[in-house]
Amino acid sequence: MKLDILAFGAHPDDVELGAGGLLATHAQKGAKTGIVDLTRGEMGTRGTPELRDEEAKEAAKILGCSVRENLCMPDGQVSYDHESQLKVAQMIRKYRPEVVIMNAPTDRHPDHGRASRLVEEACFIAGLHKIECIDENGNSLAPWRPKTMYKYLQFYNLEPNLVVDVSEGMDAKMKSILAHKSQFYDPNSTEPQTVIASKGFLDSVSARAMDWGRVIGAKYAEPLIAVRHIGTDDLLELK
């Protein structure tokens, strides 16, 4: 299956928080989208890996994703070594996305910055003809390099250079976040309190999208950092 947009996250729920609106909006317009989680989030304070697997599947359905995979790398130890690059490159060659989006370049969780570097470098590796990648059936995967790459914002307020109107997909974004029931606000939960499990954090996700929407004259928006310079052949189409 060829995808238009493939989103990578260090942990299940990273993509929903940073680019869920973007994926939902594009899926609603007919684009084929997918998510690859690097880890199962097994080091998270709340929930279990098995529960998080089920939550991730439900969230992907809500966002309209065609596929969701997990590379089962060790949570808290995401590395950008060559073996890890090849695992990510395999996903890029398998789904041949035009656009790849990934974690923020630096963030509160150390895995996010490492995952960002890993995916960016794997996008290059995936296009090298002398690098061999084999799929799960033992078939060789042809080289592929995405046309563009972007990094979504997470906990830190980094400076973006592209802001995307996600008004159409904002409702799905919030529902997909809430699908991760073990991780976010639940007044009936008896598990330890965390920063992202507070009601204030959930409110801030919506408020942040609304504020970025204000910047470009939309109801809701999500900011991105481009890996390369952004080009256009029609200035009149830009907001």
pLDDT digits (tens, 9 = 90+) for 174-204: 999 999 999 998 888 888 889 999 889 999 9
User: For residue 97, is it within any domain?
Assistant: yes
Report the pLDDT value the prediction gives residue 214, as an integer from 0 to 100: 97
Domain annotation covers residue 236: no
The pLDDT of residue 199 is 87
Residue 16 pLDDT: 98
Give residue 127's pLDDT.
98
Report, as an integer, the average pLDDT of 133-139: 89
Which tokens hold the place of 34? Answer: 């997918």
**3-class state of residue 211 by DSSP:** helix
Round the average pLDDT of the chain to a whole number and report it: 96
Mean pLDDT of 73-90: 95
CATH number at residue 185: 3.40.50.10320
Query: Does residue 63 register a pLDDT over 90?
Result: yes
Domain that holds residue 193: 5-231
Q: What would the mean pLDDT of 69-92 be, rounded to a whole number?
A: 96
Domain-embedded: residue 11: yes
pLDDT for res 148: 97
Counting the structural domains of the chain, the total is 1
CB 55 within 8 Å of CB 181: yes
Question: How many Cβ atoms from other residues are within 10 Å of residue 167's Cβ?
Answer: 15
Give pLDDT, residue 189.
Answer: 86
Residue among 212, 205, 206, 9 at smallest CA distance from 107 = 9
Output the pLDDT for position 186: 86
The residue-averaged pLDDT of 62-80 equals 96
In a domain, 238, yes or no: no
Cβ(126)–Cβ(143) under 8 Å?
yes
